[in-house]
Structure 1
Amino acid sequence: MRILIVGGGGREHALAWKLKHDNPAAEILAAPGNPGIAGIGRCLNVKATDVDGLLALAEREQVTFTVVGPEAPLSLGIVDRFRTAGRPIFGPTAAAARVETSKRFAKDLMLKHGIPTASARTFTTIPDAKAEIRRLGAPVVVKASGIAAGKGVIVAMSVAEAEAAVDDMLDAKVFGDAGAEVLIEEFMEGEELSLFALTDGTHALTMLGAQDHKRIGEGDTGPNTGGMGAYLPVSTCTPELVARVRETIILPMLAAMRAEGCAFTGLLYAGLMLTKDGPKVVEFNCRFGDPETQAVLPMMASSLLEPMQAIAEGRSIAALPALAWKTGAAITTVVAAEGYPGTARSGDVITLPSADPGVTVFHAGTATNAKGELVTAGGRVLAVTAVAPTLAEAQAKSRGFAERVQFTGRQLRRDIGWRELARAR
C-alpha cells in the first residue's frame, strides 16, 4: 500500500504518523512534506497547490489513495480532478469545500436548513457593514468570508473594534481576497468545542471532541492565531452531547449538502459553541483541524486507515464500527517562531530535546538548511503532544518538553488546557 499525503504541516505529520502506525508496511509519500514526515516516509518536492503535479505524482507512483491535508488544494478542486482520473482521494469536492471556503455559503445553507447557528448578514461595502454593527451593538463577530488561515475571525468587544476590523478587511485588505466579503454575526456566549466527523457523504463516524487555544497569550489573551495548542478530553463533551451534535448538526448538514447537489465526503470539522440553548455552529471546516489533529490522533485506538480508505474509494462506512479511543488525556503545545502571528522569523536553528516516552513531536514549520541543520520555516514550528493518564500530567509533560526546545525567539503557551484543569479543582 502506498499513501500520498498532500501538505507539509503539523496536521499532515500527524496523519502520516497515524496511518503508518495503522499499517507499518504502508509506504508514506508526502508532497511537499517536512523533515518530520521524512522520518517515516518519502517527501517529494511538489507544492500542495500544484493539482496537476500531484495527479501526475499519484499516477507515476501508483498511489493506493491520497489524503488531502490543507484547505487550499481542496478549494482548487483537487478531489474533482483525481476522481475524474479514477484516482481514490480523501476529501470533499471544490463545491463541497465551500462549507469552509465561503462562510456566506455555509451560513446561508445552515439558516435555510434549520441547523443551529448564529444569525449573520454578509456585506461588501464598509458603510453597510458598519451600519449592521451599530444595529447589533457589541460584542459582535466580524468574519472574512474566504480562507484566512484561521485568522479571519474577530470577536469584537466594542463597536469601535468591530468597525476597525471591517476597515482592515474591506479597505486595508489584510486578508486579501478572503476579506473582500465580510459576515457580521451575532455574538454567541458559551464554550467552544471542535468535533471531527469522518463521512462518506451520508454516514458519519464522530471523533473525540477537543478544545484549542487560538490566542497567542496565556489566559487566552492577545491576537488570534491558527492555534497555539489543543487538548482532550473536554468534560463538557459528553457522549450525550456528541450524539446530539451528530443528530442535530452533522447529519442534517450532510443531508443539506446532498440536497444542494454537493455531497460532502472526507472530514467535516464542526467548530461549535456550547450555549445555554445547546450546541450551535460557529463554523465548518472541510478538513482536519490544526492543532487539534495532533492531540486527537494519538488518543485513537482504532484504525484511521480503514475508514479513510473506504471514503477515498467511494465506499460506504455504514457497516464500520464506532471509533475506539484510549483512556487518559492528550495535550498539544505549539512552539511558534518569533513574530508569529505576524511576520515570523525563519532560518533559526532548532535544537530538540532527547526523546521522552509519551511525547510525540509533530513538525509544522520546519526545514533543513544547507548544513543539514533543522531550522524554523513558518509561524507554528512544532506541535508537542503528550499522552498521560490525567490532563494535569499531560500538560506537565507537553509543556516541559516544549520548554526544552531551543531556537531564537521561541514562543509557547504554558497553560494549554487551563480551563479544563480549573474545572477539575
Structure 2
Amino acid sequence: MPDTDICILGAGPGGATAALHLANAGHRCLLLDRATFPRDKVCGDALSGKVINELRRIGESLPERLAAEPIQLPSWGIDFYAPNGRRLAVPFKPRYNAATDRSAGHISKRIHFDNFLIEEVRQRPEIDFRENVDVARHEQLPDGRWRLLGPAGEELATAKLLLVANGAQSSFARQIGGHELEPAHHCAGLRAYYRGVTGLHPDNFIELHFIKDFLPGYLWVFPLPNGEANVGVGMLTEAVSKKKVKLRERLEEMLHTHPALKERFATAERLGPVRGFGLPLGSRRRPLSGAGYLLLGDAGSLIDPFSGEGISHAMVSGRHAADWAGRALAAQNFTPEFLKGYDGAVYNRLWQELRLSRGMQRLLNYPWLFNFVANRAANNPTLAETISNMFLDLDLRERLRQPSFYVKLLLGK
C-alpha cells in the first residue's frame, strides 16, 4: 500500500475539495473513503451561496455545470414560520428575478451532490482515489508519519500529513483530536424523504418551522427534484435530553396535526425510513490541528449552530487545508506549532459567522421575539429586505444580537 506525503480520510465535500485544490496546485494525494460512490449521506441537502462560491474557487465552470444538472433545484430564499404561525418570506437576494438571475442557492440530495464532486476527483491524475477502504486504526510512527490500519490490522498506507474529513462520527477527531460529544454544542436530527407534499414555494424556498411547543428545535421542509422533499427536525442534544423529547414521534405528530403542515402532508408518501444523525456544532472554538494532522468539516465540529449547515464550512476548511498542506510540504514542517496556522485561517473565515449563529440559536429560547420580528417584517418591506440582506452581510446579521435592534422595531423605526 502507498507511502504518501498527504492522505485524506473521507471523500465528502471537505475531503474532495481539499483533494481538488491540492491537484490544482500540482500536489499528489491519496484520498480514502470507506464507502463506494455514489453513496447517501443524511443531511438537509441545501447548498448555500457559500457552496457555490467554493465550487467556483475549485473551477470557474463548476457552478454553471451544477446548475445545468437535473439532480438539483435552484432555490431563491427561505420561508420562516414563526411560533405564532406567521410566515416570513426571506429571499436570498432582494428583488430577484428567477427567470434571468443566477440563483443564490440550490437543493440537491447528498447522494448526487457528493458524487458530482467525486466525478471531478476521478478526472484528476494527481488524486489517487480509493473507495471501500475501511481505516480502523491510526498509529503515529516515531518519525512522525501516520500509519493507517484496516479492520484486520493490515497496513493500508503511511503519510506525513493526514487531512481528516471523515465526518461527524470521526474516531480520529474524538481519540486524537480530543473532540468529545458536548450536548450543549451538539444537535440531534432526523431526516426523511417524501413525495407529494403540497404547497411548496414556486421558487423553491426552503422552509424552517419554529413550532412553539417544539422549541428550541425546528422542523424543515426542503423541496427537491422530481416532486420530492427533504423533511426533518433538529434540536440541541442538551434540550432533547432535558425535555425527554422523542424526535421520531414528534416529527410524525407535527406533520399530521400542525395547522401549517397537516393538509400539505395529508396525501404525501414517505420514501424509505426516517434516518437519524448527530451534528457537532461550531458554537465553540476547538483545536483543528495537531502533530501531522488537520481536521476538516464535520470532523472539525464546524457545523453552523443555527441552520445546521455543514457543506459550505467543510468546503471552506478543505480549501484552507489544501493551502496549509502545501505550506507544510514546502517547509517539511508538520509540527503542531506550524499547523496552527490552519486553525487561524479557518476561524478567521468562519468564526464571526459561527458566533453570530450561536447568538441566533439562543433566540430560539425566546419565541415571542420570533413572533415580534415576523409580525413587524410582514408589514414593513424595508425590514423584510434588511433581514434578507442579513444572509449576505455579517454586519447586518450582528444586529439580531443587539437589544437596540428590537427597541427600534418596538418604536417602529
- Give TM-score scaled by structure 1 length: 0.31
Higher helix fraction: Structure 1 or Structure 2? 2
Give me the TM-score of the superposition, normalised by structure 2. 0.32
Larger radius of gyration: 2
